[in-house]
């Protein structure tokens, strides 16, 4: 199993879609990008910690490739929105791909370039992965536990 990290606004919606992708074995919602260790949701939602709401995606590379995950990531959120996602505005809701190594970085850059060639203007950041801090337990599988669907995320075919 391998792990990939993505930020695309509210982590509940991102988790909702990644959980349904064949080859994904586990998801964890949390935070990445700031300097504060083990931040709480209450701290991150202020937008002052430097963290982005992030999802950790554990996947089986024999069933789904990292490139397929990156492509899917772009299909489940508005990657052209520069100030957040949907009604969630702020630095904690920015779009980012967190790469673990140069192969992942190069893959993210390649797909980003394909989107630009298609006429899109991605606001997504491509950043080196940092420490990942899981959010509190009540955030995990939040939408499924409540029988709800995402408000800020919709899947739409691009690739």
Q: Which residues are annotated as catalytic?
A: 10
Phi (first) and psi of residue 98, to 5 degrees: -100, 110
Burial class (CB in 10 A: 0-12, 13-18, 19+), 132: middle
Q: Which residues make Cβ contacts (< 8 Å) with residue 122, sequence separation at least 6?
A: 74, 79, 80, 95, 112, 115, 116
DSSP letter for 138, please.
Answer: G
Kindly list the distances between the CA atom of residue 59 and the CA atoms of 17, 38, 145, in Å, as whole numbers in the listed order.
14, 24, 22
Token pair in block for residue 106: 């190069």
């Amino acid at each position: 199993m391998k792990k990939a990290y993505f930020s695309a606004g509210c982590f509940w919606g991102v988790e909702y879609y990644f959980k349904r992708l064949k080859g994904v074995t586990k998801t964890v919602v949390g935070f990445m990008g700031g300097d504060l260790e083990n931040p709480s949701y209450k701290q991150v939602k202020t937008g002052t910690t430097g963290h982005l709401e992030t999802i950790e995606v554990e996947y089986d590379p024999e069933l789904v490739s990292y490139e397929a995950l990156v492509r899917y990531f772009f299909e489940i959120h508005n990657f052209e929105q520069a100030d957040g996602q949907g009604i969630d505005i702020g630095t904690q809701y920015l779009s980012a791909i967190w790469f673990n190594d140069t192969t992942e970085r190069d893959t993210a850059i390649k797909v980003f370039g394909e989107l630009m060639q298609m006429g899109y203007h991605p606001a997504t950041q491509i950043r080196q992965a940092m420490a990942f801090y899981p959010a509190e337990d009540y955030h995990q599988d939040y939408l499924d536990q409540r029988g709800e669907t995402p408000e800020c995320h919709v899947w739409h075919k691009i690739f």
